[in-house]
Amino acid sequence: MNRFPFAILVFVTFAALPVAAKSDDEAKIKSLILDFCDAWKTGSRAEFLATVGDAFYFSNPGGTFDRAQTLAQLVASPKSYSDIRFVNMNIIIQGDRFVAEYQYCSTNRSTGKREADGTVAVGEVKEGRIVAWKEYYDPSVGDLQAAGKLVVDEGGPAFPYPRSAPNRW
């Protein structure tokens, strides 16, 4: 009996396993990121806690917040903003680190004005939970959009400013 075809089959099967595992891990991380964003849309405490680790921190131009401080912001967010959406999400995963580029859209309840801010977040996952989310955005975008000085290009590419905005330099 010729065992060569069997040996090739075994080799090909096991050679493909690391690729499948990597793909599965990436799918889990992507799902985790999307669930994290969904928690912000609804203010769901349970969904948020299911996505983040105990040592989680959130950083943005407003400061750096631990898990409890971030949870307080998340719960308060739907009181200040309605129709929260994350659109045109592009996610790149490398090992336990990720980059998510997206457009964050919401309506400011106090002004009634719609905002659409293109941004990127860099993060890290450990033991199946997000432990770091560092968001980079320009906080002046929403203010300029509310003042009518910058178009709201909701659904457009996730550039920090709308592509139609004049160059500020």
For 60, half-sphere exposure in the C-beta direction (CA atoms, 13 angstrom radius) is 13
Q: In whole angstroms, what is the distance from residue 145 CA to residue 132 CA?
A: 29
State the Cα–Cα distance between residues 145 and 147, nearest whole angstrom. 5
Domains assigned to the chain = 7-146 (3.10.450.50)
What is the pTM (predicted TM-score) of this model?
0.78
Tokens of 96: 């336990």
- The pLDDT profile of the chain, 169 residues, written as one tens digit per residue, is 555 444 443 344 434 444 444 567 999 999 999 999 999 998 999 999 999 999 999 998 889 999 999 999 999 988 899 999 999 899 999 999 999 999 999 999 999 999 998 899 999 999 999 999 999 877 777 788 888 887 777 776 666 666 666 666 6
Cβ 156 vs Cβ 80: under 8 Å: no
Q: Cβ(152)–Cβ(140) under 8 Å?
A: no
Instruction: Say how many CA atoms lie within 13 Å of 38 toward its Cβ.
Output: 11
Please report where in the chains the tokens 């985790």 appear, as a residue.
Answer: 32
Check the CA dihedral 151-154-160-162 and report its sign.
negative
